């Protein structure tokens, strides 16, 4: 496997781990970037941008990073809070009055960011195409009664997180979250990350290979074990990974799951979340845990307790984002991730197009993180 890009000598272990992912873990195309003390110390890419392996992965190859986007959406919210335009402990309804419906008048911004609002899915029947209609989705969420008592426990807001926090941004700033991101954060810094991708970038987008599908008997057995909250979150709307290869998906703004970027851009944005743009106080707010628990949506599948800060998952004793329990980040469906560790002055971004089957902590991710920290 021939790797493109550059890597400081001390991070040669990362290069070897990155190349091993192609040799041992069926990588098709991927990239990884490490920023240390504000300097890009590793920026590697390789493999192919299409499943047929005819199109080489380039320095500027974009890929849909699924829920790694959530950390970027959270960064936008923290920027508004840092500017004094948003109180994280205020009721969401202060900024979005319609949200107070169905018993949600007391739900706070903090609860939205920590997946504790009880709105892990709309209650009205929803199809995938509805995700593209911003006003429809935000109206449905405003009308939805929480599935559990807000603030008591987290329940991963898989698809709804972006519409919830994005509507907050729109109500406060007047711009959509994707436009706010472009005009306030990525554009001025030449960061190649997009929520709502313009047609002019389509030729750079990598084709995702969805994870293997379970057979019908396995799916039936799985769904028979799921509680109503999990089942509704996973199936309303029902979503297949291949949808991310469509034009409609790319054009829409779905700030929970459809950010497109390079690994370099992911690392740059998580470096901003680690203090490159946020104040020290904002960084501490972002990584303050809101209580460890078995997540109502993901807990049974993960098999261990997790803890979410304000828009980011904490590393904790599980080491999901390295050995520092106060490091934080976000995984994307299939394997991508962004990591922020203010104590180590470190940020990592990883993107790929062969989607794995694990909900979190894909083996490719974990060997890259281990290699980076071994080099510090």
Per-residue model confidence as pLDDT tens digits over 301-350: 899 999 999 999 999 999 999 999 999 999 999 999 999 999 999 999 99
Residue 77: the pLDDT is 98
Per-residue model confidence as pLDDT tens digits over 198-228: 999 999 999 999 998 766 666 566 666 678 8
Taking 90 as the threshold, does the pLDDT of residue 170 lie above it?
yes
Taking 90 as the threshold, does the pLDDT of residue 125 lie above it?
yes
Residue 223: the pLDDT is 61
- Quick check: is 370 in a domain? yes
CA distances from residue 86 to 66, 76, 253, 275 in whole angstroms, order as listed: 26, 11, 22, 19
- Quick check: is 157 in a domain? no
- Quick check: is 163 in a domain? no
Average pLDDT along the chain: 96
Asked whether the beta carbons of 160 and 255 are under 8 A apart, the reply is no
Residue 200 designated active-site: no
Residue 301: the pLDDT is 85
For residue 335, the domain's CATH number is: 3.40.710.10
Domain count, the chain: 1
The band of 287, judged by pLDDT with boundaries at 50, 70 and 90, is very high
- Quick check: is 25 in a domain? yes
Q: Containing domain of residue 340, as a range?
A: 4-52+203-242+262-374
- Quick check: is 18 in a domain? yes
Instruction: Choose the catalytic residue: 67, 176, 320, 336.
Output: 67
Asked whether the beta carbons of 227 and 373 are under 8 A apart, the reply is no
Residue 220: the pLDDT is 63
Q: What is the pTM assigned to this prediction? A: 0.97
Who contacts 4 (Cβ-Cβ below 8 Å, separation ≥6)? 44, 45, 46, 57, 59
- Quick check: is 334 in a domain? yes
Q: How many residues does the chain have?
A: 376
Q: Give percent of the chain with pLDDT exceeding 70.
A: 97
Who contacts 234 (Cβ-Cβ below 8 Å, separation ≥6)? 158, 226, 297
């Amino acid at each position: 496997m021939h790797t493109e890009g550059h890597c400081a000598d001390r991070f040669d272990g990362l290069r070897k781990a990155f190349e091993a992912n192609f040799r041992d873990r069926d990588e098709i195309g991927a990239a990884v970037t490490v920023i240390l003390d504000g300097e890009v110390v590793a920026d590697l890419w390789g493999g192919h941008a299409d499943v047929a392996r005819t199109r080489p992965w380039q320095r500027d190859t974009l890929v849909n990073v699924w829920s790694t986007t959530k950390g970027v959406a959270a960064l936008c919210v923290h920027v508004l809070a840092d500017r004094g335009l948003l109180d994280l402990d205020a009721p969401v309804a202060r900024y979005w009055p319609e949200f107070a419906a169905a018993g949600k008048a007391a739900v706070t911004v903090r609860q939205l960011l920590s997946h504790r609002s009880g709105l892990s899915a709309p209650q009205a029947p929803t199809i995938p195409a509805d995700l593209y209609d911003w006003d429809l989705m935000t109206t449905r969420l405003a009308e939805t009664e929480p599935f559990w008592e807000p603030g008591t426990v987290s329940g991963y807001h898989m698809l709804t997180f972006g519409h919830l926090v994005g509507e907050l941004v729109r109500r406060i700033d007047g711009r959509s979250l994707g436009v706010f991101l472009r005009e306030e954060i990525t554009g001025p810094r030449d960061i190649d990350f997009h929520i709502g991708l313009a047609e002019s970038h389509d030729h750079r987008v990598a084709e995702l290979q969805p994870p293997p599908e379970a057979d019908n008997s396995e799916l039936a057995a799985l769904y028979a074990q799921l509680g109503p909250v999990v089942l509704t979150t996973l199936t309303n709307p029902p979503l297949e990974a291949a949808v991310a290869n469509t034009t409609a998906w790319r054009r829409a703004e779905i700030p929970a799951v459809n950010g497109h970027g390079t690994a370099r851009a992911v690392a740059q944005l998580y470096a901003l979340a680690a203090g490159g743009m946020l104040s020290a106080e904002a960084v501490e707010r972002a990584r303050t845990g809101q209580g460890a628990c078995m997540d109502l949506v993901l807990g049974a599948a993960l098999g261990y307790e997790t803890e979410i800060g304000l828009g980011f998952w904490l590393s904790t004793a599980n080491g999901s984002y390295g050995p520092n329990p106060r490091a934080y980040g976000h995984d994307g469906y299939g394997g991508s991730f962004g990591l922020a560790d203010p104590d180590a002055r470190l940020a990592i971004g990883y993107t790929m197009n062969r989607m794995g089957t694990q909900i979190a902590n894909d083996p490719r991710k974990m060997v890259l993180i281990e290699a980076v920290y071994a080099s510090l």
